[in-house]
A and B are shown apart, each in its own frame.
Chain A
Amino acid sequence: GAVVSQHPSWVICKSGTSVKIECRSLDFQATTMFWYRQFPKQSLMLMATSNEGSKATYEQGVEKDKFLINHASLTLSTLTVTSAHPEDSSFYICSAWTQGANQPQHFGDGTRLSIL
């Protein structure tokens, strides 16, 4: 199946710093990448939808200035958590999707973010 690489897999940083997470589709071109947040024992909550070359669409309640998304190419999207605080600690997951018949999303391994 399609491979999506997410990096880093785990990051710990101090409150107030910014953290960048990369999501790459390794063997296909993704027209769209999605960013999710998952709390322990809970489901995936969609944060934003990112189409290559255009601004991301954020879900209600997600601060676009807090979670900056860049989607510069068909194989790379980045999520930057700016001025991170402890409440931003979570598991962030990206997925990649390409427009076409019967295409599912393909998920990265996720990034565990811990803000001290």
Chain B
Amino acid sequence: AQSVSQHNHHVILSEAASLELGCNYSYGGTVNLFWYVQYPGQHLQLLLKYFSGDPLVKGIKGFEAEFIKSKFSFNLRKPSVQWSDTAEYFCAVNANNQGGKLIFGQGTELSVKP
């Protein structure tokens, strides 16, 4: 069965620190990859997505992620976080042969201290 693993449950950073959130998936076929963010009290919003092409994907708000196929990974990065980045971050995977169905990771709570 497919699964998605996010390594960090809760990350605490100071403003301006660099961020990297890990995401690994288990599925041998072609996948589409996503990072969603959920700000407190709000719905999930798409940060970025990878379908094909350049494995380094740039998203909104200065976030980027790199797809490393050999490692089954899709880590999220941001060079300098802000207090407003405090949120829950979810990695999700869609297998190419399963319509739009997503499998989510457990989520990582990011707390940025001002």
Contact = CB atoms under 8 A, between A and B. Distances in A.
B100 A32 contact: yes
Interface stretch (B12-20, B39-47, B62-70, B76-84): B39-47
Interface of A: 1, 4, 6, 32, 34, 41-46, 49, 93, 95, 97, 99, 101-110
Interface residue tally of chain B, by bracket?
A: 20 to 34
A103 B101 contact: no
Contacts of B103: 46
B90 A44 contact: yes
Contacts of A110: 43
28 contacts: A6-B43, A34-B101, A34-B102, A42-B106, A43-B90, A43-B104, A43-B105, A43-B107, A44-B104, A45-B104, A46-B101, A46-B102, A46-B104, A49-B99, A49-B101, A93-B43, A95-B44, A99-B99, A99-B100, A102-B32, A102-B49, A102-B51, A104-B46, A105-B102, A106-B46, A107-B44, A109-B42, A109-B43
Nearest to B101: A49
